[in-house]
Amino acid sequence: MSDRETEFRDFVSAQLEPLRGLAYLTCGDWQVAEDAVLTVLAKLYVKWNRVDRPDSYARTAVVRAAIDETRRPWWRREKSHSHAMPERSLPDRTGMVDDRMHLRQALMQVPPRLRAVLVLRFLEGLSVQQTAEAMGCPEGTVKSYTSRGLEALREILGVDLSAGTREGRHEARAV
């Protein structure tokens, strides 16, 4: 096995799960996320010697591939629910898990490009500049998308910043 192949295998071993998670949070479907990541890794393998920063390239390509998958016409017509996350039949007693699931459901209602920026900025921990590079857009667009995405999340989650409380089930917890 050549050094090139060894480097690529090490890269894939270290980055497969983070890239898959990023793709899932971007598109909301594990199967589509897996397809996007594997497609990107196949393309990256061909370009391996020419790519200066493979982690940045892969992150950018995965986000774009996952967004593209949500735009395809068949996506709007048909959605396979056989591989989707199952709905909870019993309430989970761990509040943290409930909050994460609630946040994930809210995040899936945010438009794909805004969601991608939120995922890159807050879950991947990228700076505005790094996010702009990953998204292939100006930093001002990232800032705008961040603001609009956070506002959309606040609206979906029922967060009222002027009153400092959350509506619905979160308000009941505080009482």
Chain position carrying tokens 């048909």: 78
Whether 102 and 154 map to the same domain: the answer is yes
- What are 84's two structure tokens? 């989707």
Owning domain of residue 49: 1-77
As for how many domains the chain has, the answer is: 2
Whether 17 and 50 map to the same domain: the answer is yes
Which residue, of 77, 107, 127, is where some domain finishes? Answer: 77
- What are 128's two structure tokens? 């505005």
| Tens digits of pLDDT across the chain (175 residues) | 788 889 999 999 999 999 999 998 888 888 888 989 999 999 999 999 898 899 999 999 999 988 887 666 554 445 555 555 555 555 545 666 677 788 888 899 999 999 999 999 998 899 999 999 989 999 999 999 999 999 999 999 888 766 544 444 444 333 2
Q: Is residue 137 part of a domain?
A: yes
Question: Contacts from 133-137 at CB under 8 Å and sequence distance 24+?
Answer: 133/56, 133/60, 134/56, 134/59, 134/60, 134/63, 135/60, 135/63, 135/64, 136/60, 136/64
Whether 69 and 27 map to the same domain: the answer is yes
Q: SS3 for 18-84, per residue?
A: HHHHHHHHHHCCHHHHHHHHHHHHHHHHHHHHHCCCHHHHHHHHHHHHHHHHHHCHHHHHCCCCCCC
Q: Which residues contact 65 (CB under 8 A, 6 or more apart)?
A: 23, 36, 37, 39, 40
Report pLDDT digits (tens) over 30-66: 888 898 999 999 999 999 989 889 999 999 999 998 8
CATH number assigned to the domain comprising residue 65: 1.10.1740
